[in-house]
Amino acid sequence: MPYSPLRLLLDFDDQYQRDQRQSPDFLHRRDRQLALQAQQRDGSTPLPEDWLRTLGADRVGGGHDPRLRTWRRARVLFVLGGAVLGVLTMLGLLYYDGSQRINVTLLLGFAALQLALAILTTMQAGIGWRPWGRLLDRAGATPAALRDLQPPLAARVAHSGGLAFAIAALLTLLVQVVVRDLAFGWSTTLQTSAPAYHELTHALALPWRQWLPPAVPSLELVEQSRFFRISDQTPADPARLGAWWAFLAMVWLVYVVLPRLVFLALSRAQLRWRAKRLLARHPGMAALRQRFEQPWVDTGAGNATPAPELDQGKAADGVLPESGTVIHWAGAGLADDGLFSALAGGERAPLRLAAGGSASLEHDRAVLEQAGQRREPVLILAQGWEPPTGELADFLDDARQQWGEDTVIALVPLAADPGGALSDDTLAQWRRFVDRRQHAHLRLCRAPEVPS
């Protein structure tokens, strides 16, 4: 699935927060190795999205991003509420009991109000004003990485609700024209003549008056439809009072619906532009590029004491158990069929599963249940060139609870190059990770050699 700028910013910030717990030396070694592999492959520096995919940090492989759930729910509520409010508002504006005409001036004023609200919403997002920011911060509605994106996110929600309001109101107007006999007129307290009012309507009809003449009120219609509240004057041709509907429908379409549609598209474009800008200015981006470009030199200065020797044993270089159940964590070794053939053994048919990375928690639970039904040792392959993650620790703890204490689990960290070997320092880090699990039957095992 291609990365959107917003999702790329979220995933990058999540990985940046995880990397804060690692040593600079480890990060430099890991990212420099990935950059060299990319240069050997196609001669280019890895893009941030390629870097995230390699690390298995692209959390959302498809569907809706859970980190934007609050904004998505707000958008749905605004759309539904806007549609209902649009119907009720137009019914109120078109209320007609036969005693008074429907005032065209009121409808024009309300359309102008909607246009003004749409413009103000766009301007608010443009200048980054957050009048509701304190409320959102208190409710925790937005991750920290998205705080500067709250204005365009809120504008997108508001324009979505406004567009639903405008469309629902326009449809209500058209339905009312069909099912009822509406009588329109115009009236105002200001000293305005019929020719002046006609000039106003003629100017408003500029976008369509050349290709849709029936939707442009004539001077005769304007003169006949003027009314006064205390006057009982009846027009010479009452049937003509309904001819205003085409003009009013076009006014609503051009000055209410279309601006909301345009501003909604602009808010989406602004959101993408700001996400790209925030990613380019992210504090982790400059550091990542530096690690990509500068060679890594192992001086040993980062280690106050030498790493412990990797003795044979449970948490160092355990013996691979004979098993046909293999779980690829975050895609580690998933494309290496030769490695899977060398690992899978036993009398039963081999079972190949994938967990972690972009997979959901529900998928990981299903993998645990499926692997536990075989009641045999389980081999878990992981990307050895990056540090053990908290997600992997949670997965191992869940496996221990679901499979029982007696199930043998072999954790096999893999090198970045197929067939390569991890350094002793890297294996020592994985050994400490296994020791912290305090699981008697959790082994750290080296990957077997795969014949070429």
Sole residue written with tokens 């209320």: 95
The pair of structure tokens assigned to 442 is 């959790």
**CB of 217 closer than 8 Å to CB of 201:** yes
Mean pLDDT of the chain: 82
The pair of structure tokens assigned to 184 is 């329109």
Give me the residue spans of the domains in the chain. Answer: 66-290, 325-444
**CB of 283 closer than 8 Å to CB of 200:** no
Amino acid at 188: T
**CB of 418 closer than 8 Å to CB of 451:** no
pLDDT at position 229: 60
> pTM for this structure?
0.61
Taking 60 as the threshold, does the pLDDT of residue 298 lie above it? no
pLDDT at position 159: 95
Burial 433-449 (b: 16+ CB within 10 A, else e): bbeebebebbbbbbbee
- Name which of 335, 328, 325, 313 is nearest 412 in CA terms: 328
pLDDT in tens, 103-151: 899 999 999 999 999 999 999 888 877 766 666 666 555 566 677 888 8
pLDDT at position 57: 60
- β-bridge mates for residue 160, sequence order: none
Q: How many CA atoms lie within 13 A of 156 on its CB side?
A: 19
pLDDT at position 148: 81
Amino acid at 237: D
- Name which of 296, 329, 338 is nearest 423 in CA terms: 296
Give percent above pLDDT 70 in the chain.
84
Phi first, then psi: give them for residue 417, nearest 5 degrees.
-90, 130
How many other C-beta atoms lie within 10 A of the C-beta of residue 62?
7
- Write the CA distances from 167 to 92, 256, 411, integer angstroms: 16, 9, 58
Give percent above pLDDT 90 in the chain.
27
Indicate the pLDDT class of residue 168, thresholds 50, 70 and 90.
very high
Three-state secondary structure of 202-257: HHHCCCCCCCCHHHCCCHHHHHHHECCCCCCCCCCCHHHHHHHHHHHHHHHHHHHH
Give the span between the Cα atoms of 92 and 105, in whole angstroms.
14
pLDDT at position 126: 85
Give the span between the Cα atoms of 243 and 246, in whole angstroms.
7
Which carries the bigger pLDDT value, residue 260 or residue 52?
A: 260
Give the span between the Cα atoms of 256 and 93, in whole angstroms.
15
Q: Find the mean pLDDT for residues 197-226.
A: 88
Indicate the pLDDT class of residue 230, thresholds 50, 70 and 90.
low
Q: Find the mean pLDDT for residues 250-255.
A: 96
Give the span between the Cα atoms of 202 and 200, in whole angstroms.
5
Listed in sequence order, the residues at least 6 apart from 214 whose beta carbon sits closer than 8 Å to its beta carbon are 246
Give the span between the Cα atoms of 117 and 60, in whole angstroms.
35
DSSP letter, residue 255: I
